[in-house]
Amino acid sequence: MTDPFLGPDEPDPVAFENVTGGSVFFLTCDHGGRAFPRRLGTLGLPAPETLRHIAWDIGIGAVGQQLSRLLDAAVVLQHYSRLVIDCNRDPSVASSIPEISELTEIPGNRGLSDEERGIRVEAVFRPYHAAIATALDRRAAEGRATALVALHSFTPVFKSVSRPWHVAVLFNRDPRLAHALAELLRAEGDLTVGENEPYAVSDLTDYTVPVHGERRGLPHIEIEIRQDLITQSDGQKEWGERLARLLPAAYDEFRRGWPG
Ligand SMILES: [Zn+2]
């Protein structure tokens, strides 16, 4: 028998906080963690690479936890690095386990067999999304309204190009909640707000919003915050407080515009 992929002393892929929180908002941090299963080492990367944005969404887990406390909202965080497997990408897409990220080659991801890919899917990806699906099923069974908020952060410089946005809202088939929040973010007066830039939601580049938001018909939004704004605890607190103020207002706008 082979050893289990994750040892009994290694972190569970899913961290669920405030699961019974009373808020309409349900928060996810698909790229919140940067742990590597012991069995994979650091995928052949020098240690500093495992701290960079290629390994995780810097700062977003702390913002998610802050928001969870301020809104009394459930938050689900993924512990393992997106380089182990990207939990916001369909596992059938090649880049779900990237061989190259930005300009960095990931030696431990090169030439994986289907079996090796499958082990990561089952050990990390599936339990994470099963936890989200179970929690959303339970809320639906209880007749609770839910708005899904997928939290991410983006690097201020990508492939040597600086990015001007402080924050961005992303969407695909249903822009309603995203538009409402974008207007409120712009009204803050001190922010450059992207809409579907530097990224947009799609079925190939995302999983959480298409599967748990769109398919269930839940109001949803994907939020990206620039990493240099939330690297330190004061910025994390500031953004937690800002979004805790604006998200409920955006949801009210959403409900006013589209009754029922
Ligand atoms: Zn992300």
- What does the pLDDT look like over 105-131, one tens digit per residue? 999 999 999 999 999 999 999 999 999
pLDDT of 166? 98
Q: Is the pLDDT of residue 2 over 80?
A: no
How far is ligand 1, taken at its centre, from the CA of residue 183, in Å? 22
Q: What is the pLDDT of residues 37-57, one digit of tens each?
A: 999 999 999 999 999 999 999
Beta strand 100-101 with 74-78: parallel, antiparallel or unpaired?
unpaired
pLDDT of 153? 98
What whole-number distance in Å separates Cα of residue 21 and Cα of residue 77?
15
How far is ligand 1, taken at its centre, from the CA of residue 259, in Å? 31
How far is ligand 1, taken at its centre, from the CA of residue 260, in Å? 31
Q: What is the pLDDT of residues 134-186, one digit of tens each?
A: 999 999 999 999 999 999 999 999 999 999 999 999 999 999 999 999 999 99
pLDDT of 260? 46
> How big is the CA angle at 208 (ends 89 and 13), to the nearest 5 degrees?
75
pLDDT of 257? 83
Percent of the chain whose pLDDT exceeds 70: 98
How far is ligand 1, taken at its centre, from the CA of residue 73, in Å? 20
More confident call, 257 vs 28: 28
Beta strand 167-170 with 220-226: parallel, antiparallel or unpaired?
antiparallel
Q: How many residues does the chain have?
A: 260
pLDDT of 245? 98
pLDDT of 190? 95
How far is ligand 1, taken at its centre, from the CA of residue 162, in Å? 18
How far is ligand 1, taken at its centre, from the CA of residue 2, in Å? 32
What whole-number distance in Å separates Cα of residue 12 and Cα of residue 62?
18
Tell me which residue of 174, 218, 219 sits closest to 196, measured CA to CA.
174
How far is ligand 1, taken at its centre, from the CA of residue 57, in Å? 5
> Could you identify the residue written with the tokens 């209880």?
142
How far is ligand 1, taken at its centre, from the CA of residue 153, in Å? 6
pLDDT of 252? 97
How far is ligand 1, taken at its centre, from the CA of residue 233, in Å? 19
How far is ligand 1, taken at its centre, from the CA of residue 31, in Å? 5
Percent of the chain whose pLDDT exceeds 90: 97
How far is ligand 1, taken at its centre, from the CA of residue 107, in Å? 21
How far is ligand 1, taken at its centre, from the CA of residue 225, in Å? 10
